[in-house]
């Protein structure tokens, strides 16, 4: 496999779901380079061609590190309709990709929704006796439980009524020309994957990068997550002038340094 080639994985279909292909790009570790690999878990309506994902892949290639980035169903170059997507589906995509396309310990890097997905993956791996696969977690503006806490709880009664009766509401966004659909299925399925009602384990160190000018995931939400990460070492970097994207050159540099530091303890002597 040549670095950065586009490949597709066909995961087992979920009950009632149609067959689909997941698009991914994988960079293999250079010969003789030890330590964990890197898995990028993107955000809601984002893809593996985002600024942060591409920058991390370029850094991994230069450092000789293994790196996996992929598109969830209905995102980027993967099959599927975005409006059919749910947290459960995208979590299943991530778990399938990690088990199929990585070996050994991994540092999970989750951005926004990807932060929630990373924590769900960590729990699933640990429950399956695979906690050794978890080398660490870097979370960028982690939108844990966002469908309930940052969407449903903030919606007006009128918006809730539209979602409940029509099955979707078109939410305006600053990140695209067209509004993004919020479906009843997304909200209802999200409730089956909530994490902030109990302690959360990552089975490794956690570093959270959180902008204090983030209008989508307030910095207080990151602090709420920290309160639930009671068993694992956690560090938090609050960036006073950073927004939700954290895609400026200085943000990318900060992210790479956080990932590099997370990987460094596992490197030989």
Beta bridge partners of 171: 180
Would residue 214 show up in a list of annotated catalytic residues for this protein? yes
> HEC states along the chain?
CCCCCCEEECCCCCCCCCCCCEEEEEECCCCCCCCCEEEEECCCCCCCCCHHHHHHHHHHHHHCCCEEEECCCCCCCCCCCHHHCCHHHHHHHHHHHHHHHCCCCEEEEEECHHHHHHHHHHHHHHHCCCHHHEEEEEEECCCCCHHHHHHHHHCCHHHHHHHHHHCEEEECCCCCCCCEEEEHHHHHHHHHHCCCCCCCCCCCCEEEEEECCCCCCCHHHHHHHHHHCCCCCEEEEEECCCCCCCCCHHHHHHHHHHHHHHHHHHCCC
Given the residues 73, 75, 112, 203, select the one marked as catalytic.
112
Would residue 232 show up in a list of annotated catalytic residues for this protein? no
Which residues have CB under 8 Å from 69's CB, separation 6+? Answer: 24, 25, 26, 39, 40, 42, 48, 53, 56, 57
Rounded Cα distance between 221 and 227, Å, is 10
- The total number of residues shown for the chain amounts to 269
Closest to 173 (Cα-Cα) out of 53, 82, 89 = 82
Would residue 203 show up in a list of annotated catalytic residues for this protein? no
Residues with active-site annotation: 112, 214, 244
């Amino acid at each position: 496999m040549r670095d950065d080639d586009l490949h597709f994985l066909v995961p087992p279909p979920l009950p009632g779901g149609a067959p689909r292909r997941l698009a991914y790009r994988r960079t293999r570790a250079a010969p003789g380079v030890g330590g964990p690999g890197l898995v990028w878990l993107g955000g809601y309506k984002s893809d593996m061609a985002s600024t942060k994902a591409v920058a991390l892949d370029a850094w991994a290639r230069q450092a000789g590190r293994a790196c996996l980035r992929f598109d969830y169903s209905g995102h980027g170059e993967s099959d599927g309709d975005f409006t059919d997507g749910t947290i459960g589906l995208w979590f299943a995509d991530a778990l399938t990709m990690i088990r199929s396309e990585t070996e050994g310990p991994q540092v999970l890097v989750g951005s926004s929704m990807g932060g929630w997905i990373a924590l769900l993956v960590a729990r699933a791996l640990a429950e399956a006796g695979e906690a050794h696969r978890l080398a660490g977690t870097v979370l960028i503006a982690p939108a844990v439980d966002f469908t309930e806490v940052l969407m449903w709880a903030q919606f007006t009664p009128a918006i809730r009524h539209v979602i409940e009766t029509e099955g979707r509401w078109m939410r305006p966004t600053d990140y695209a020309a067209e509004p993004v659909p919020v479906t009843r299925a997304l909200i209802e399925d999200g409730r089956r994957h909530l994490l902030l009602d109990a302690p959360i384990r990552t089975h490794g160190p956690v570093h959270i990068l959180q902008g204090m000018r983030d209008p989508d995931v307030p910095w207080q939400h990151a602090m709420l997550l920290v309160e639930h990460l009671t068993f694992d070492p956690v560090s938090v970097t609050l960036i006073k002038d950073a927004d939700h994207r954290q895609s400026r050159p200085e943000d990318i540099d900060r992210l790479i340094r956080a990932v590099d530091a997370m990987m460094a303890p596992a490197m030989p002597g």
